[in-house]
Structure 1
């Protein structure tokens, strides 16, 4: 991360620091660079949302923090600093077991594939309590019932004895969350936590995560492509494209003051910005081939505002405010002044007015 970005939020306590991270995968003799020189800070107690279209590298970035990269993937450059340790230097499962679950836990997007269909949900939660909290017997049982209560499960003694198939999708997601917080982690990573849930249940799960964050003092990272989810839960947003963070800022800054054309395009894709009788906005073109070296701004071929330099040099982060940065040459003092699309300007103005009221 650029020097200015590190200085900006120095008053906050950094719980995890990613510096110049490069992650590559080897596929059939070819090398794919999934994460391209990313730097990002995570602050204690915050909710950070990482957004971007499929294939942008969101999940790969978070898996690297937990040592869950596929066997053909590896960290080629950079550091992941947590608790004065460089996680990128871990080479054994024993090292990761000291961090995974106990310090950093994950809630996956498909609870049915995460849960063991042959074990009761009570036993699955209790395993984590025994392993990470060191409780045994009645103490472990009582702690498991408490966790079930905390995630909004009723009649917990009965539910303790039931199997995953006896629960609805929303209830299974609550069970997975209970397993994650049973480890008493400092950081909770939520990978598309509301996927395949209806709108009402989505709202309940998001509110549950907010309540648990306050109760357990969690720092939460949300991985999502759903900007509606982001608006409800995030303190800050990092926008990813083609394995790179291209804009980062507080939620209101990204939604109503964004400056990168890709962020404009993402927001323009919101159904709320569509007009009756007209097709919804979609981003033309396709993401770049990550098997090939990317020169300049990866979004340049799809960017209607691209400058010549966008095809030649990767832009640095430009500071917009104390908490807001964007990686686009349009913010260079020598660049021509470019305004976002008219529909987006109206959305920005409405949002700013609402914030002021």
Structure 2
């Protein structure tokens, strides 16, 4: 398979090295992804969290060659099975990767489905293209996959159209289409958007079951920390085109070190204190058209140090699985108290 090994002997299925992605807009260059490095482990659930506009979707689109026409990889590597996907230029290059090796479940199932084609044929199309099956065999597998994703009476549903399905059922069909390609990595971009709470839970449970059955590595893109808590083994916290903190799910929730991660966690409604206003992150994200000096989050960080405005912090290791880009972890930095809303949460971890 050509997979490499991490320091703790886990199989690295995909390795990103200092990737930078730019967009050309009206004669200006926007630095959307600013030098991310990341190892994705085989069989894990990895969640990328952050505000809208932080670069979550753009980052993962580079894995399947779906950047908009004005976007391009400026530098860096994306190594998958010994190939550098960052060097791929043509549709012919991507044909052996997109769907077959790395598939995506998009956040709007209605616009992902063809309203004029029956559901079964849409699932079967990927099977025929990527699994070398035709006719009756492909149809039989399509029906099985529909059943696997929780579609009742799949033989009948095979012949129905998208408008005959509810939002939750359409999301299941989109997952079925991705599974039909038999990928190794599945990217789920906001998979529970616009679904009610009950349906969200069902879709997340489905994805966990599908992951086991089909031996998938899953990347979740979300701004919903509730989703992260239910599904993620590891979490990458993204801000202004960079992953500022990364660690095991429990490390991010109970022992976060970056002020931006603190701010995201403090915004959880369930951490609100009775009689006080809910926390909100002050200010607006940085302008990615301009060169960023220091820590990108510094202008919005009430606990920012002087150095945060001058020099970008490196990663500081908290544990073998946990690191964060914040000068607060430098041995010379002053002690800073956690936000009030998080004190109880972090005390549970230490206890």
**Greater fraction of residues in helix:** 1
For structure 2, list consecutive stretches of 5 or more residues without a partner in the other structure.
none
Which residue in the other structure is 1:240 paired with? Answer: 238
2:5 and 2:11 in contact (8 A); partners too: no
TM-score with structure 2 setting the length: 0.97
| CA distance, structure 1, for counterparts of residue 233 and residue 27 of structure 2 | 41
Question: How big is each residue's C-alpha offset from its partner over 1:154-178, in whole Å with a ceiling of 9 and x where there is no partner?
Answer: 1111100000000000000000000
Aligned to 2:167: 169
- After superposition, residues 297-308 of structure 1 pair within 5 angstroms as 297-308=295-306
The number of aligned residues is: 348
Deviation at 1:343, TM superposition (A): 2.4
1:16 maps to what in 2? 14
Q: Is the Cα contact below 8 Å between 1:152 and 1:174 reproduced in 2?
A: yes
1:326 equivalent to 2:336? Answer no
Question: Any conservation in 2 of the 1:115–1:164 contact (CA below 8 Å)?
Answer: yes
Q: CA deviation at 1:351?
A: 5.0
1:40 pairs with 35, 38, 41, which one? 38
Tell me if the contact between 1:8 and 1:322 (Cα under 8 Å) persists in the aligned partners: no
Query: After superposition, what is the alpha-carbon deviation per residue over 1:72-127, rounded to whole angstroms, capped at 9, x for unaligned?
Result: 00000100000100000001100101100000000000000000000000010011
Distance across 1 between alignment mates of 2:53 and 2:342: 25
Deviation of residue 350 (structure 1)?
3.0
Q: C-alpha displacement at 1:137, in angstroms?
A: 1.2
Q: Residues 155-194 of structure 1: matches in 2 within 5 Å? A: 155-194=153-192
After TM superposition, the structure 1 = structure 2 runs for residues 92-131 of structure 1, keeping only pairs within 5 Å, are 92-131=90-129
**Aligned equivalent of 1:282, options 280, 284, 288:** 280
Post-superposition offset of 1:276: 2.6
Q: Does 1:223 align with 2:221?
A: yes
Give the 5 Å matches for 1:178-217: 178-217=176-215
1:18 Cα shift? 0.5
Whether the 8 Å CA contact 1:17–1:41 is kept in 2: the answer is yes
Between the aligned partners of 1:305 and 1:242, the Cα distance in structure 2 is 18
User: Partner of 1:170: helix, strand, or coil?
Assistant: helix
What SS does structure 2 have at the residue aligned with 1:68? Answer: coil
Q: Give, in angstroms, the shift of residue 349 of structure 1.
A: 1.8
Contact 1:22 1:76 survives alignment (8 Å): yes
- 2:64 maps to 66
CA contact (8 A) 1:8 1:323 kept: no
Distance 2:341 2:207 in 1: 33
Distance 1:227 1:216 in 2: 25
Q: Secondary structure at the match of 1:117?
A: coil
Uncovered stretches (5+) of structure 1, i.e. residues with no partner: 1-5
- Checking the alignment, whether the CA contact within 8 Å between 2:64 and 2:97 is kept in structure 1 is yes
CA deviations 1:287-311 (Å, max 9, x no partner) are 0000000000000001111111101
CA–CA separation in structure 2 for the residues paired with 1:335 and 1:7: 34
CA contact (8 A) 2:273 2:341 kept: no
